[in-house]
Homo-oligomer: A and B are copies of this chain.
Amino acid sequence: MRTGVVKGDGRGSLTLPIYNGLLQPVDGHRGLHPQGASVSKLRLEAFTDGVYAIVITLLILDIRIPDVRAEALGSALIQMLPQVFTYVLSFFVVALYWFSHHRIAQQIKQIDGTFVWLNMVWLLFVTIIPFPTALLGRYPLQPIPIAIYGADLILANVTGFVILAYMRRHPVLCFVIVDKSVLRRQIPAYAVTNGFYGLAIAFGWFLPWISYFLYALVLVGLAIRFTQIPNPLSQK
């Protein structure tokens, strides 16, 4: 990757990558454009951030306002409280996935076509979230919506892990080498998360409130983990 050099403070020069589309070298009309075959990380991030921002904002559209007589408005709104709970749950679930995406993206130096598609599969499972959320709002204590919700979250998690494994096999894409030990240290977090989601799915058939509790528990746990533990990928 061709880089420009900005003269440093005397202790050495700082090499800046010339990101495609942002600070792009002018090669005239003769040569090959150096980033021609790679993919701009910046644009994929902008696209991804856009998708997350839209998903998290669209969730409110499924909370339809009640259409009742004015006197019945209060009780109609109270009946909507479970829907409000699933709204807040999904809001922070999407926020968590954005944060998780962000932590992985921070370790990415450049991307290739396969990475774009893996990222798209991840986004597919994220953009689906409004559907099981609306389903939970309409059928709050039924096992099937609880299972679809959990299955979607598990699939998104698995895709995230596949992306890590892909980074391990393609160190040229990363700032730090994601080796076997880095990957292995990630396994418990993924296993525990997906285990709890699996439990939540199972409880949907017996004690659906436990399912909600488990979904919220994973959310709070990961949210705290993200604020306290520095990015594990960078601990190498």
Contact = CB atoms under 8 A, between A and B. Distances in A.
B43 A49 contact: yes
Interface in A204-233: 223, 226-228, 230-231, 233
Nearest to A95: B120
A57 B60 contact: no
A88 B92 CA distance: 24
B5 A5 contact: no
Interface size band for A:
35 or more
A47 B8 CA distance: 31
A98 B27 CA distance: 25
B21 A42 contact: yes
Contacts of A60: 58, 127-128, 130-131
Interface string A125-139: 001101100110011
Contact of A177 (B29, B95, B124, B175): B29
Interface string A38-56: 0111110111111111111
A73 interface: yes
6 contacts: A4-B8, A4-B14, A7-B7, A26-B109, A36-B175, A39-B102
